[in-house]
Amino acid sequence: MIDKKGAWVSKNDYQQMRLAAGYRAGIREPAFGWHFKKTDRWGLLDLDGRVLLDADFDQAITRCADGRLEGHKNKELLSFKADGTPLQPSDGKLVGALCNSVPPYALKTGEKFTLVDANSIPLIQLQFDAVSQFPGGVKNVKIDGKWGRIGPDGRWLLEPRFDYLSGHADTFVASVDGKRGFMRSDGTWVIEPKFDAAARRQNSDTAFVTVAGATGVVRLADQSWVVPPRPGVMCDINHALMTQGEGKRTILSKAGQDWIEIDAERIGISLDIGLLTFLRDGKWGLVDTTGRVTVEPQYEEPVAFLPRLRGIAWAKRDGKWCAIDRRGHPVEGISCAPGDPLGGPGGRFECKVEP
């Protein structure tokens, strides 16, 4: 480091060194130190060049809005005070203490959790078997097999008496004696427990509910049906609904009208592509969004027409991967391959009511 006149301020053996400053709302914040890299690991100096955190981290250190520092060490997220001292004790680990989170935080010691404030001081002496969190510092906690809810100040919002609590701040799923209902944040019931499974829909005043093996969509305000129950489970997919029961899947409109109903054990969910892959008797084929089978099942793996492939897909038959067009015809000029050119299968979508 040199000063403005070119005189040496300090010398070191670092691989890299750069000013540590973050951005908020597109505006650069004042510098809080120097990032430095040594033996391919990152550390942090203060503005005067003193070491705050040794070069032990996978990447550059981040400073949170509240002044905390966080860094990944061997892929594990660790939190520190502004002066570099650890926030978590040596025998514990902070869970969910990310920069955008607010206290209380969960501190895991062994197999138990406690709730601590921003300085890792316990808010409550009880230890919990599990902790889940959502915005606002409210936590769902499990103790002796029952779930309750604790506020940011460590006080009980709901005593631990529930089999299950979902993670919504208001109008959430609560279970008593194995039955699901919907509860307000003040502990009063919107719908008393009577469902076998239930889940709020995202950005909606409706919910999926299951009774006696059938699932539908109910309005929370008056308990009327948006989509009457059907055998099996029901879930949201892209711009539509899906039902799954008796080994078959059906795609419905948001209002519950049948869109694609074929004899299929599995079916794709990317309606905007125009063609969906489906599984029947161990082979994969293609169906369009009107429910018409365009390519009979004959492939050994799912077939996906991805936008970036511009109208072709790779399909496996007789152990080889070959490029096909939307009618299932081979694409001339593209050689077949012994393995999947796209690098392997993607994730499998599971239709279910509860997480």
pLDDT in tens, 30-74: 899 999 999 999 999 999 889 999 999 999 999 988 889 999 999
- Domains defined along the chain, listed by start: 1-87 (no CATH), 264-355 (2.40.10)
Whether residue 104 has a cis bond before it, omega within 30° of 0: yes
What is the C-alpha separation between 53 and 43, in angstroms, rounded?
5
164-204 pLDDT per residue, tens: 999 988 899 999 999 999 999 999 999 999 999 999 998 88
337-348 pLDDT per residue, tens: 999 998 876 667
93-147 pLDDT per residue, tens: 888 888 888 888 899 999 999 999 888 889 888 999 999 977 778 999 999 999 9
Centre a 10 Å sphere on the Cβ of residue 289 and count the other Cβ atoms it contains: 15
Residue 281 has pLDDT above 70, yes or no: yes
* pLDDT at 345 (0 to 100): 65
Cα 335 to Cα 127, 161, 316, 321, 323, distances in angstroms: 61, 62, 13, 9, 8
Residues sharing a CB contact under 8 Å with residue 267, sequence separation 6 or more, in sequence order:
242, 249, 251, 260, 276, 277, 278, 279, 287
* pLDDT at 25 (0 to 100): 67
What is the C-alpha separation between 219 and 205, in angstroms, rounded?
6
* pLDDT at 44 (0 to 100): 97
* pLDDT at 346 (0 to 100): 65
Mean pLDDT of 324-353: 89
* pLDDT at 353 (0 to 100): 96
What is the C-alpha separation between 60 and 239, in angstroms, rounded?
40
**Under the phi-then-psi rule, with left for phi > 0, alpha for psi from -120 to 50, and beta for the rest, what region is 109?**
beta
Q: What percent of the chain has pLDDT over 90?
A: 70
Residue 92 has pLDDT above 70, yes or no: yes
Q: Which of 124, 183, 172 is nearest to 151 (CA)?
A: 124
Mean pLDDT of 202-218: 95
228-268 pLDDT per residue, tens: 999 999 999 988 999 998 888 899 999 999 999 888 999 99
Tokens of 138: 């409210």
* pLDDT at 111 (0 to 100): 93
* pLDDT at 35 (0 to 100): 96
DSSP character at residue 86:
B
Mean pLDDT of 21-31: 79
* pLDDT at 23 (0 to 100): 72
Residues sharing a CB contact under 8 Å with residue 162, sequence separation 6 or more, in sequence order:
146, 147, 148, 174, 175, 176
First to last CA, the chain: 53
What is the C-alpha separation between 135 and 151, in angstroms, rounded?
11
Mean pLDDT over each residue of the chain, to the nearest integer = 92
Residue 1 has pLDDT above 90, yes or no: no
Q: Which of 285, 330, 332 is nearest to 304 (CA)?
A: 285
Distance of CA 87 to the CA centre of its chain: 26
309-320 pLDDT per residue, tens: 888 999 999 999
What is the C-alpha separation between 200 and 181, in angstroms, rounded?
11
